[in-house]
Amino acid sequence: MEEWCESMPKVELHAHLNGSIRVSTLLKLAKALNETQKDAINFSQMEHVIMKNALSLTEVFHMFDLIHNVITDHNIVTRITKEVIEDFASDNVVYLELRTTPKRNDSIGMSKRSYIDAVIEGLKSVSSVDVDFIPKTEDSKSFINDKFNGNSRKRIIVRLILSIDRRETTEAAMETVKLALEMRHFGVVGIDLSGNPKTGEWTTYLPALKFAREQGLNVTLHCGEIRNPKEIKNMLDFHPQRIGHACFFEDEHWRRMKSSKIPVEICLTSNIRTFSVASIDVHHFGDLYKANYPLVLCTDDTCVFSTSLSKEYKYAADSFGLGKWEMFEVSRNAVEHIFADNGVKNDLRKYFHSVSKNMEV
């Protein structure tokens, strides 16, 4: 099963760039920073957090602050992006929607725009695998299927989602949406709302999210990562294209979800390690899978939760007694929920079809 989950093509729709930084890179950057600026980072604290196998949500968000501290220039953003793409491609992810929060940091001359430019530089600088990130009408149709027709180099389609952090103001959220609109030709396909769920108010982000929708951007929301029935209801009323987590849903929320069929991005390891779900046997993946509800298995933060997409598939298979072809179908069905255009979707459908005819159990 482990080999099967590794080798089959996969689709990742919920991965945060800085939460997916390579551990070795994070430690190197933290160590270097620690040597030059003693107070900039608490290296031993960071090492300790990385090695822990259960983290409260508070610790997780502290970890993100530590990670963000190592981003001291644009080249680091570019390097992290490049490595994250390489890592997903080597795990046989063929389509990746990578999300990241555009960051402004005046002390290092970084604007939200220059941060995203650095991410795009990272996409361009990958050389060990072929990366398709610029939406095209003609060429993208054959990009992934060429791989199947005898080209042995790995290929990955990447699209970007820009995140609004729950600590941000309405104006800052609006700036992110405007940036996403400007960057559509570089493969930005949507907006995400994320960040510490204990922070901020839904009404703060709503104007920006409404504007994103009016302008034709897709929206995905972190929803129900903590118990907050009122916010969950407001989020469901907004009817986003996808929802991340959905851990603290009550019956009434599930009833609404089942009539609206909003796909759920499921992050098993993240939910268990942050205690958002008490144990894997009661994780909502089980019921949703049985009910044939639209869902996608995702990693959330490969670095912070020491995981990979193949590990998430193996975890699901082992925990819910699913076989190889069932896991393949979970992966294939994820294609239906991507934010990229229909050209890419059809291309991926064809690709999964040809793979299914050639894979042996």
List the catalytic residues.
225
Q: Cα separation of 278 and 248, whole Å? A: 11
| 331 is a contact residue toward ligand 6MZ (CB under 6 A) | no
Q: Please report, as residue ranges, which positions from 178 to 197 form the binding site for ligand 6MZ (by CB under 6 A).
A: 194-195
Figure out which of the listed residues 78, 163, 220, 269 binds ligand 6MZ, where binding follows CB under 6 A. 163
Which residue from 101, 220, 269, 310 is in contact with ligand 6MZ, where contact means CB under 6 A?
101
The DSSP bridge pattern shows strands 218-223 and 130-132 to be unpaired
Q: Is 222 in the site for ligand 6MZ (CB under 6 A)?
A: yes
Burial status of residue 65 (CB atoms within 10 A of its CB: 0-12, 13-18, 19 or more): exposed
225 binds ligand 6MZ (CB under 6 A): yes
d(CA 22, CA 59) in angstroms, rounded, equals 19
Q: Is 122 in the site for ligand 6MZ (CB under 6 A)?
A: no
Looking at residues 281 to 300 of the shown chain, list those that interact with ligand 6MZ (rule: CB under 6 A).
300
Number of residues that bind ligand 6MZ (CB under 6 A): 18
User: Of 17-25, 146-154, 203-211, 350-358, which part binds ligand 6MZ (CB under 6 A)?
Assistant: 17-25
- Residue 16 binds ligand 6MZ (CB under 6 A): yes
Nearer to ligand 6MZ, 17 or 212 (CB): 17
Least separation in angstroms between residue 88's CB and ligand 6MZ is 14
Site for ligand 6MZ in 229-268 (CB under 6 A): none
CB of 118 vs ligand 6MZ, minimal distance in Å: 12
Query: Does 78 engage in binding with ligand 6MZ (CB under 6 A)?
Result: no
Does the CA dihedral 139-119-312-228 come out positive or negative?
A: negative
Q: Which residues bind ligand 6MZ (CB under 6 A)?
A: 16-19, 60, 64, 100-101, 163, 165, 194-195, 222, 225, 270, 274, 300-301
